[in-house]
Structure 1
Amino acid sequence: MTYQDLAQMSLAQWIQIFAAIAAPIVAHIWVSIIKKKPALIWTARHQFFFLVPASDANTPNDTEQNSEVEADNLDFIHYQTMGFFFLNKGRASALNIEIIFNFKPEHFEFWPPIAYETTLNPDNRFIINIDRLGPKSNFNLELLGRRDPPKIVRVISEDGETYLREFSFEPKPSNAILAVCIIIFGIGLATTAYFTAGLIINLFS
């Protein structure tokens, strides 16, 4: 097909071509939007350091820490906290969630409380197992300890692995909305290119 043939094509013919290309793309996006599926995300919300006076932490029930304080002759004891936030953005439950740490945290707590089980692998990887997290449900996982807190190695569920995301208070458009905007922009750009090419061909023909 030559440039003259393209220039002679009517607008209706171009619309049919673009519709044939865009229809399956839009249909796929629409199906992905209305399909019920989980969308598990997680992020590190905060980390904080506390310097607690040794006299306050030197309790009769904490013999291990008492010996450390006496041995080091410290005026303050160093505590660290780390907080993680988990959210299921999808419209179906996320099943069989595994949160894998590189070692067991000294202390951890969920809020709001949820049912969970723990496993310690032979290589000392600490795993928290959660059966399900309902649609639009979330929880916080808080760590507390004297040492540096462990890092999350992996977070996986039946739908695959999910990766750390940057925490933001600003709402962001979904990937589906961005894809629709890109398609509309592409159609407009192609239409502009078509009319520009036709105008140039008519001027030099």
Structure 2
Amino acid sequence: MEFLQAYGKEIIAAILTLAAPFISRWLTPSTKLQYYTMHEYTYLIPQPLLDEHGEVVQQTQMAHAKTIVVKNIGSQAAKNLEVVFNWKPMFLNTWPSRKYSIHDSPDGRHSIIYESLAPKDLVGFELLAVNVPLPGVLSIRCEQVAAKEILIQHIQRYGQWTNWAILALMTFGGFTIVYLILWALQKLFL
């Protein structure tokens, strides 16, 4: 009993620090959609563009390519996932290959609709257009939630020891914060 009285704050701080992420994740099953542009390129093609009479319209042609990825990072399936483009892309490839339906609205918007997207699953859209611009994404949503755009960039990957050291420092920092809060509460109320 003396051990618990002497080290009770430290034990509670350690338990709360280690258990908090797991408890919060288990208590709230939800759908969380994210999307990002994996890459976007414009290729200059050194071949002249000719009109129907064989006359040169422009000296080079341009091919635009873009890949968009939609991920369900939640713990619940996304129902009726809808991806709306500003107009119909010239060429579109989806991966992984799965069943979807297409809806073109009267104002020219192009929608791709999936019945569901399982938790931790993703779907990608590869767009290609030659001598015309690519359509923008107007919205990505499902019945439960709208997708959040994530900006990505390449970063340097560090070694396993560095990752473990950062994890240890973050855990120690969390432990220290919880300990200080409990210490302050004890000083205020005792």
Does TM-score exceed 0.5, indicating one fold? Answer: yes
Quote how far apart the aligned CAs of 1:141 are.
0.5
Distance 1:69 1:195 in 2: 88
2:143 maps to 1:150? no
Deviations 1:131-171 (A, max 9, x none): 11123222220111122211111111021111111235679
Larger radius of gyration: 1
Greater CA deviation, 80-89 or 66-75?
66-75
Unaligned runs of 5+ in 2: 158-170
Q: Which has the higher helix share?
A: 1
Paired with 1:197 and 1:92, the residues of 2 have a C-alpha distance of 42
**What is aligned with 1:136?**
120
Matching residue within 138, 147, 164 for 2:149: 164
Give me the identity figure in percent. Answer: 20
**Corresponding residue for residue 91 of structure 1:** 75
Q: TM-score, normalised by structure 1?
A: 0.62
Query: Relative to 1, partners in 2 of residues 1:37 and 1:182: Cα closer, same or farther, differing over 3 Å?
Result: farther
Q: Which residue of 2 aligns with 1:78?
A: 62
Give the aligned residue type for 2:34. Answer: I
**Root mean square deviation, CA, Å:** 3.8
Residues 1:52 and 2:37 are matched in the alignment: no
Q: Which amino acid aligns with 1:135?
A: P
Q: Pick the aligned partner of 1:107 from 67, 91, 100.
A: 91
Q: Identify which of 104, 107, 113 aligns with 1:120.
A: 104
Where structure 1 has 5 or more consecutive residues not aligned to the other structure, the ranges are: 1-10, 59-65, 172-179, 199-205
| Letter aligned with residue 153 of structure 1 | L
Is residue 81–residue 142 contact of structure 1 (8 Å, CA) maintained in 2? yes
